[in-house]
């Protein structure tokens, strides 16, 4: 029996978003979280948001599934504390 990836419901989306194993850049992370770059990097420094992966000396990207899981966890916990 095939297994399905867990789905994540985003606040601005009516349909579930299924995480995929792909890398996304900062603009998409901002879109998915509703947060700006400065806030994301502050949360990373505080250990409260997934760190990006270094692609090259000047480029970074995030694991989409990790970002979507962070969003789902935030929703499940009822928001930031």
pLDDT tens per residue across span 28-68 = 999 999 999 999 999 999 999 999 999 999 999 999 999 99
Q: Is 31 within the bounds of a domain?
A: yes
The pTM assigned to this predicted structure is 0.74
Residue 24 has pLDDT above 70, yes or no: yes
Q: Is 70 within the bounds of a domain?
A: yes
Q: Which residue range(s) make up the domain with 56?
A: 23-76
Q: Is 81 within the bounds of a domain?
A: no
Per-residue model confidence (pLDDT) at position 50 = 98
Distance CA 72, CA 66 (A): 10
Q: Is 4 within the bounds of a domain?
A: no
Q: Give how many domains the chain has, as a whole number.
A: 1
Give me the sign of the Cα torsion angle 65, 22, 28, 38.
positive
Per-residue model confidence (pLDDT) at position 40 = 99
Q: Is 57 within the bounds of a domain?
A: yes
Question: Which of 1, 9, 7 lies closest to 74, judged by CA?
Answer: 9
Length of the chain: 81
């Amino acid at each position: 029996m095939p297994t399905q990836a867990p789905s994540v419901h985003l606040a601005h989306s009516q349909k579930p978003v299924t995480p995929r194993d792909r890398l996304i850049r900062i603009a998409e992370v901002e879109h998915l979280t509703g947060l700006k770059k400065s806030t994301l990097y502050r949360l990373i420094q505080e250990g409260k948001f997934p760190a990006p992966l270094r692609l090259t000396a000047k480029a970074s990207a995030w694991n989409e599934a990790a970002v979507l899981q962070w969003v789902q966890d935030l929703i499940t916990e009822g928001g930031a504390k």
